[in-house]
Amino acid sequence: MPERRRVLVTGASRGLGRAIALALAERDFDLALGYRSGRHAAEGVADEVRGRGAEAVLLPFDIADRDAARKALEQELAERGPFWGAVHNAGVTADAAFPSLSGEEWDRVLRTNLDGFYNTLHPLVMPMVRAHRGGRIVALSSAAGLAGNRGQTNYAASKAGLIGAVKSLAQELAKRGIAVNCVAPGLIESDMSDDEALRKQLGDRIPMRRLGRPEEVAATVAFLFSEEAGYITGQVISVNGGLL
């Protein structure tokens, strides 16, 4: 029986992270569910993962806290061995027009979204390399990281930075059989978009005239973890309904 492959998903307790975890469980990956808060919700996702026949463990840590992230991940590696893959999904926003954007808002978004990439993946990469099993890494960027967005200078900077990090790391890890890619969602259904008027306003900006579903983004991530996607690396795949 082949050894099962284990994947870390950060921000897995709700929304897009939950959808990604479930999509990977459907493809027979075992999951470590990273989350900062909301243990009850994370436990619910773990139950859903197990209901799909995969294993799930909870891994609470703040990706913006470098020392805490390393401690949690190194303990997990010591107990269960290296991961085969990771999804850097957790992120935050703090929107404001640039003249009124505070230093704290800039720092918090960059430290979580961009520094979190380093804080999460740096402890994992060399164990993946030493395992000689190949692997997959996917980071969630954003349409804002490709085209910018008013009121999101900090967020767009963090998500654009992820694209550069992914393209560089992909070149470093390609000879190890580890593929590294970005998925860049556009406007996706969320608690924020429950208001019908807001949904119509957002949807009118999109050629397909609707918001995307978390499951559509998750399916793209899951594809990048498949054998069929083994020759795709260093790429940015947009899931945005044609949004330019």
Assigned token pair, 90? 């957790």
pLDDT tens digits along 10-60? 999 999 999 999 999 999 999 999 999 989 999 999 999 999 999 999 999
- CA separation for the pair 182, 145 (Å, rounded): 11
Supply the pLDDT for residue 244: 75
Contacts (Cβ under 8 Å, ≥6 apart) of 27: 222, 225, 226
pLDDT tens track for 189-214: 975 455 566 666 677 889 999 999 99
Lowest pLDDT segment from 67-71, 180-184, 205-209, 228-232: 205-209
Give catalytic residues, as residue numbers. 155
What would the pLDDT profile of 142-171 be if each residue is shown by its tens digit? Answer: 999 999 999 999 999 999 999 999 999 999
Give the chain's mean pLDDT: 94
- What is the Rg, in whole angstroms, of the alpha carbon atoms belonging to the chain? 17
Phi and psi dihedrals of 139, rounded to 5?
-110, 140
- Predicted pLDDT of residue 194: 57
Separation of alpha carbons 218 and 228, rounded Å: 16
Domains of the chain by range and CATH?
Answer: 6-238 (3.40.50.720)
Strand partners, 59: 34
Residue 170, phi then psi, degrees to nearest 5: -60, -40
